[in-house]
Amino acid sequence: MRILFIGDVVGRSGRAIVLERLPGLISKWKLDLAVVNGENAAGGFGITEVIYNELIDAGADAITLGNHAWDQREALVFIERAPKLIRPVNFPKGTPGRGAALIDTKNGKRALVINVMGRVFMDPLDDPFSAVERELAACALKSGADAILIDMHCEATSEKQSMAYFVDGRASLLVGTHTHVPTADHRVLPGGTAFQSDVGMTGDFDSVIGMVKDQPLERFLRKLPTSKFEAATGPGTLCGLAVETDDKTGLAKRVAPVRLGAHLEEARPAFWE
């Protein structure tokens, strides 16, 4: 199975490059599954139903969230009628929506997509490890799903790496999101799970993690309160992770970073080009 995960889409710049590039990448790379983290898609804060539908129409098979899941209050309502929108699985019991979904892929198979949030330097949510364990026990690789993708929305690299080893051999890939900066540690772990600590954001990198530079600078330099941060609107860069799995095992065979657009050195999966 050919899988593309696209990192945190930030504001209009991020949405624009996804809508521009994703349909062509699906065709050119013969993608079976495309998953997008959309928790910053609406001006950097949350997601709206209109944006959700735009990303789905562009070819996203599932959209994951994170700590900004409810910044757009309408998400609390429309998530119930958006079966491909997945919020963190370790949100408290009774939270609207779902933390995992079994998705029909473009090649007629089924993929389990799980979204989970870390707790180090983040909100004190339920234990992410036990939450993921429950989902894997309920829908195991190959017996329940042909592929399993886990988006761990998390601040601490150590927590992401620990989760990756925790699921190694039981998930096709575990990707880290939230810090908005792509790391250089993409690899297939010993048990066959593809991993990258953070896939990076999809948005304008002439910014401070996607936000207009002056506002965070004022806070750092003078400790002065500023208006609400605004997403930068310059040319966007698409950051993601390309993974090819073994149809017999559901585990990863090859993995490569994806960076397309302005500001960052471009990277493409040579095995699909």
Catalytic residues: 68
Contact call for residues 19 and 58 (beta carbons, < 8 A): yes
209 Cβ contact partners less than 8 Å away, ≥ 6 residues apart: 10, 179, 180, 181, 201
58: tokens are 């562009």
- 2-6 vs 33-37, strand pairing mode: parallel
CA angle 178/1/108 to nearest 5° reads 110
Burial 147-171 (b: 16+ CB within 10 A, else e): bbbbbbbbbbbebbbbbbebbbebb
Contact call for residues 243 and 236 (beta carbons, < 8 A): no
> Following CA atoms 94, 96, 99, 104 in sequence, which dihedral angle do they give, to the nearest 10 degrees?
130
Best CA proximity match to 232, nearest among 7, 13, 6 = 13
Walk across the sheet containing 110-117 and list its strands: 100-104, 110-117, 147-153, 173-177, 194-196, 187-188
